[in-house]
Amino acid sequence: MPEIDAEGLKKRQDELIGLFNRAPMKRTFGMELHYDENGSAIFDMPYNPDFNHTLGGIHGGVIATLLDNAGWFTVAPLYNTWISTAELQVRLLNAAVKVDLYSRGRILSAGKRIAMAEMEVRTRDDLLVAVGSGSFAVTSMSITKAGA
């Protein structure tokens, strides 16, 4: 994994929270981002009936977005450059009907060119809704240039 001290990691996490807070998708989805003591990105998303599919459950694309965000924002603080989602795998396990959701990421590996994470989405009463994994490509674009 890339070398970074605890203070540097916290600073990068704070910068990424600021970046996310300016993103239009934050307003659209109503998501909030924070990090736990292990460095995992956690996204809280309140229930919004506008995200339901025809049968009343939260659409899988919304759940996939929660997974992608959790993985990306867990991996991103480890790098000084922008990362890009290269691959996202989603497994929908249970319906999420009229519930708030949260997602969490966990780093599997972080190399010079590719980082990998696993993610999950759960309801507040701890029902596992989905799991996923992602590969994130490390680019040469500076985070500052990308908007952070």
List, for residues 21-72, the tens digit of each pLDDT value.
999 999 999 999 999 999 999 999 999 999 999 999 999 999 999 999 999 9
pLDDT, position 142: 83
Angle at 26 between CA 17 and CA 82, to 5 degrees: 50
The CATH code for residues 6-146 is: 3.10.129.10
pLDDT at 105 exceeding the cut of 90: yes
pTM here?
Answer: 0.94
Answer yes or no: is pLDDT of 124 > 80. Answer: yes
Measure the CA–CA gap between 130 and 94, rounded to whole angstroms: 7
H/E stretch holding 41: strand 41-45
Q: What does the block give as tokens for 89?
A: 């795998």
* DSSP 8-state symbol, 100: -
Instruction: For 25-49, give one letter per residue: b (16+ CB within 10 A) or e.
Output: ebeebebebebeeebbbbbebebee
Predicted local confidence at residue 146, as pLDDT? 57
Average pLDDT over residues 119-142: 96
Q: Which helix (H) or strand (E) holds 84?
A: strand 81-92
Measured N-to-C along each axis, helices 6-21 and 60-75 cross at an angle, to the nearest 10 degrees, of 140
Average pLDDT of every residue of the chain: 94
Question: Residue 147 pLDDT more than 90?
Answer: no
| CA atoms lying within 13 Å on the CB side of residue 16 | 28
Distance (Å, whole) CA 14 – CA 12: 5
